[in-house]
Amino acid sequence: MSELSSGGGLGGDAREVGTIVARGLVRGTRETVPWFYANMPEYYFRTHDRDEQVRHLQAIVSAGVVGDRHVLAIRSPCGTRVTLISPGGGTAELVAALGTLAGDEVLNARLYATLDGRMRLDSFVLAPQGAVDRADQSFVDAVRSVELSGLLRADETEGFGDFLSCGTCDCVARFEVERAVRHYHMYRDVLDDDRVHVRREDEVYPGQSRIMVAMSAPPERGLMLEMAKLLHRSGCAVRRAYGDVYATPGGSFGVCSFYLSACDSPALGNRESWEKLEAQLARLKWYAGGHPLEWFADAEGMSVSQVMFMQAAAAFAHQFLAGADPHAFTAHNIVQSMLTHPAISRGLVEAFEARFDPDGHGRDRAQLDVLRRVRGQVAELSDEVERQTFRVIELFITNTLRTNYFLPDRFGLSFRMDPAILAHIPPAPGTVKDDPPYGFFFFYGAHFRGFHVRHREMARGGVRVVPTVSRENFEMESNRLFAEVTALARTQQHKNKDIPEGGSKAVILVGPQGDIDRAVKSVADSLLDIIVPGQDGPSLPQVVDYLGREEVIYLGPDEHITPSHIEWIVERARRRGFRWPSAFMSSKPSTGINHKRYGVTSLGVIVFAEEMLGMLGIDPKRDAFRVKLTGGPRGDVAGNAMLLLMRQYGTNARIVAVTDGHGAAFDPQGLDHGELEHLVREERGIAEFNPERLGAGGTVAGAGTPEGVRLRDTLHNTAEADLFIPAGGRPETINDGNWRQFLLPDGSPSARAVVEGANIFFSPQARTELERHGVLIAQGASANKTGVICSSYEVLAGLTLSDEEFLAVKDEYVAEVLDILRIRARSEARLMLREYRRCGAARPLTAITTELSREINALADGIAAELGQGGAVANDPLLRALVLEYCPPLLSARYEDRIFTRIPEEHLRALVAAYAASRIVYAEGLGWMSRVGARGGLVEAVRSYLRQEAVVAAYRAELRAAGLTHVRELLGILDATACKFLTERDMGIEAER
């Protein structure tokens, strides 16, 4: 029967309802308060004052959390403080509570289960939070209480105060001495260490163990959730937990503490199960949870490592199968295939582990037995998507030559792939099937994936990061990831023709939830995992090796790689035992040659620009010319190119249009030089160009408006100029579908010449079409090669000098390298234009670039192969002299012995090969050296040519001394033909004519 009476109107109802509610609240309060004080952990009462306890109890009683099993969320008006009160006290309920905030950045978490397991009370502090006030009395009292505790030495107190001030106000308001000191000790242990530190302490309270997990730069979102899920899968009973993030100098520090009921947590019961849990906890910084394949951990008991391998295998399969049918082989369909057939998926994981288990015996037999079973299961599938998915994953496993999967402290997954796999899988969209790389690596980690592709055993190339802002953006970039990195590596191979190292490139694709710093560190360290040799072999003891030789990889910076990344990578290489850590990454801020500071890439671009303008009949030192650029004042290549144009050609250089990612500026009379220089020096975007410095018809716009976006996206096409320098922008900005937009209404190009400061700005077809319309294009492989040449000379210094020695001579060394870069750029530019004129413009410049690169690289490979069958380079006087000529004068004059004792012999051979090939081809033109080498051997042809150069030098001296009337013409004839003629005669070729 209802407690409400039937009369009295609304006023009576309200009074009666109020009485009933009050009676219920009184009854609930009477029942709940004693239970609350009897069952909440004692630590809760130590860190939550009476006002908070009252608020929590009011919420619990009014919401009926315990009796009616309701879930209550209380959020502060500012939205950054959240309290969740929910029924149940198990670890599953903890996971559910943390899951509600998976997308939030949690700075503090206080997580409690009642002793009887009937309720959870979890409070969170979310970002952003204000800074701690060190003058506040509560902060002063906290530091003083630590002083008085004796838990820290007197000389540690100041450092502790600095540490505490990096926390949130919640860390001060709920301050507890012992916990804060534990955090401080963990912070000092983790300092300058990117590994995750896991610490277990038993019987910290009767029957309870504490697990602490600490790390620098913790993931901003979802970390504590992943820890709770792992503890739940391991059967651990979490009674309470805490998490705190401190904004410490140089990056954040995070620490999580879990208090487990020892008797109810089987993972703590023996050493093997604990070590398994410990290893998985240490992986979570580098792991992205929430993936559908995590079902295998939840339902099948797979480890974090096994799930991560499956994620990597799915990503690899998608990368290549999407090329066969992007609609059928979506990322979703590939993952769904693996979930639909768990037995096959488990079998493939088993085969992979059998192949690479460092403790395994009879690995090959074990792997084959598993694969035989899996193939039988796959053969029974009727769905083609499923069959192809598992076929490619099997190929992924059997064509992996090394992996860091079994290394205990890895930061991600790395796989050294056999390039032979590319012949057996569909080509990634946009790749060239008949030009396979020498080798490639695949990387997978927390919200990122990446490839490193190279075209020679010893290779150099930049590391590029591609961040994405949405899932759709990530999927689009993912579909072309391997195509992009292979195209860049191929361009790099052509570009590296002047140096010992072959071409390579790495591209890291970072998802919208990813972190660039974490991805870069993961890839660099994972690469070191599988290229650093062990004491007794070419790989570390826990890296099973199917390659059989040591690999030397050199890296350089590219988009989104910062000086701090470079310093970290070099230091990490040093710690990991890489033989030449200073050479591992170029463009080091102090002990390297920073590309942006010295403008090394732009230097070569402007040399090419000067030669190209000359081809158009423009002398830039005398004639005015118009130029447009992409990349903006903040960009390395574009910013320095503008400075060089203004410095070398003054007002003759009319920079009419500049665009970057954030805006565009246009002035038909040329943008004001002073304002451009100001923007470059201040590293500001072009949208900040002062409109008051514009001339008639000029405009500037940011990308924050539709008009600004339109101007940014079209100005490089529509602005009229003599020269276009694309020095920034995504690959194939001008492509097969839009190249006509570069033409003016009358069909003529908007720029007569292009010097590519950015690689693959044009698609191959777009480049061809524009050349057909009369555009002269100096391709990136030629035009912007000086950046990588500079990096190679930085490596040379790193191999011969200590850091201290290099710093002592850095200014002199850099000046010499810059002189060399000018020579290398001008030599190639002039040869290309000579060949272009010689063929009557029948071949476009880009075809000449490709032919030139292929010839020099083929010659270098042939010379290196022949040198590998002979003695040491140092023992051959002609080749020794060639090495010294290649080196900057400073090295040759002061450190000759070191050049031949510290630089590896294979590097010296590659140096001789590359320098001899490029030097002779630039001097004598295309084709000649290949023909001569084919008759008498390449190395012998090089030696003969070097000998004849000395003869020609003597002839030149005699001619100059003779005082003949036509000495200049005679010297020109001598330079053009003498070395060729004398070399052929020396090798017996001339006599055969």
Q: What is the CATH number of the domain that holds 243?
A: 3.30.70.260
**% residues pLDDT > 70 (the chain):** 97
DSSP 8-state code for residue 235: T
* Separation between Cα atoms, residue 53 and residue 61, nearest integer Å: 12
Q: Are residue 354 and residue 424 in the same domain, yes or no?
A: no
- At 810, the pLDDT band (50, 70, 90 cuts) reads very high
- Token couple for 18: 């109020």
Does residue 414 lie within any of the structural domains?
yes
Torsion of CA 333, 335, 336, 340, to 10 degrees: 140
Torsion of CA 939, 941, 943, 949, to 10 degrees: -150
How many other CB atoms are there within 10 angstroms of residue 161's CB atom? 18
> Average pLDDT over the chain, rounded to whole?
93
**% residues pLDDT > 90 (the chain):** 84
Does residue 90 lie within any of the structural domains?
no
Residue 826 pLDDT greater than 70, yes or no? yes
Tell me the per-residue pLDDT of 790-804, one tens digit each, with 9 for 90 and over.
999 999 999 999 999
Alpha-carbon radius of gyration of the chain: 34
Tell me the per-residue pLDDT of 43-89, one tens digit each, with 9 for 90 and over.
999 989 999 999 999 988 887 777 667 788 999 999 999 999 999 99
Sign of dihedral through CA atoms 73, 74, 78, 80?
Answer: negative
Q: Are residue 632 and residue 727 in the same domain, yes or no?
A: yes
- Check: CB of residue 171 under 8 Å from CB of residue 108: yes
How many other CB atoms are there within 10 angstroms of residue 881's CB atom? 13
Residue 993 pLDDT greater than 60, yes or no? no
Does residue 115 lie within any of the structural domains?
no
Q: Are residue 424 and residue 381 in the same domain, yes or no?
A: no
Q: Are residue 624 and residue 768 in the same domain, yes or no?
A: yes
Does residue 18 lie within any of the structural domains?
no
Does residue 273 lie within any of the structural domains?
yes
pTM: 0.88
Q: Are residue 434 and residue 375 in the same domain, yes or no?
A: no
Show Cβ contacts of residue 362 under 8 Å, excluding neighbours closer than 6 positions. none
Q: Are residue 640 and residue 662 in the same domain, yes or no?
A: yes
What pLDDT score does 433 carry?
64
Q: Are residue 167 and residue 209 in the same domain, yes or no?
A: yes
Does residue 30 lie within any of the structural domains?
no
Domain boundary among 555, 585, 615: 585
Q: Are residue 623 and residue 655 in the same domain, yes or no?
A: yes
Q: Are residue 631 and residue 519 in the same domain, yes or no?
A: no
Q: In what order do the strands lie in the sheet with 439-445?
A: 400-403, 413-417, 439-445, 448-454, 502-510, 459-467, 553-557
Q: Are residue 967 and residue 872 in the same domain, yes or no?
A: yes
Tell me the per-residue pLDDT of 2-25, one tens digit each, with 9 for 90 and over.
444 444 556 667 888 778 777 878
- Check: CB of residue 493 under 8 Å from CB of residue 785: no
Sign of dihedral through CA atoms 594, 596, 597, 599?
Answer: positive
Catalytic residue (one of 505, 521, 596, 628): 505
- Check: CB of residue 855 under 8 Å from CB of residue 926: yes
Indicate the SS3 state at residue 761.
Answer: coil
Domain boundary among 398, 424, 455: 398
DSSP string, 109-148: EEEEE-TTSSEEEEEEEES--PPP-TTSHHHHHHHHHHHH
Q: Are residue 623 and residue 554 in the same domain, yes or no?
A: no
Show Cβ contacts of residue 180 under 8 Å, excluding neighbours closer than 6 positions. 142, 146, 160, 164, 171
> Is 505 a catalytic site residue?
yes
Strand partners, 215: 254
Range list of H helices, 506-552? 516-531
User: Do β-strands 238-246 and 448-454 pair in parallel, antiparallel, or remain unpaired?
Assistant: unpaired
Q: Are residue 416 and residue 337 in the same domain, yes or no?
A: no
* Separation between Cα atoms, residue 419 and residue 401, nearest integer Å: 10
* Separation between Cα atoms, residue 4 and residue 25, nearest integer Å: 17
Does residue 167 lie within any of the structural domains?
yes
Q: In what order do the strands lie in the sheet with 253-261?
A: 72-75, 81-87, 119-126, 106-113, 238-246, 253-261, 208-216, 197-205
Residue 930 pLDDT greater than 60, yes or no? yes
How many other CB atoms are there within 10 angstroms of residue 247's CB atom? 16
Domain boundary among 224, 256, 286: 286
* Separation between Cα atoms, residue 937 and residue 838, nearest integer Å: 28
- At 577, the pLDDT band (50, 70, 90 cuts) reads very high
Domain count within the chain:
5
Tell me the per-residue pLDDT of 694-737, one tens digit each, with 9 for 90 and over.
999 999 999 999 999 999 999 999 999 999 999 998 889 999 99
Burial class (CB in 10 A: 0-12, 13-18, 19+), 734: buried
What pLDDT score does 120 carry?
94
- At 1, the pLDDT band (50, 70, 90 cuts) reads very low
Give residue 327's domain range: 304-398
How many other CB atoms are there within 10 angstroms of residue 143's CB atom? 19
Sign of dihedral through CA atoms 347, 350, 356, 361?
Answer: negative
- At 352, the pLDDT band (50, 70, 90 cuts) reads very high
CATH number of the domain bearing residue 661: 3.40.50.720
What pLDDT score does 67 carry?
65
Residue 962 pLDDT greater than 80, yes or no? yes
Does residue 55 lie within any of the structural domains?
no
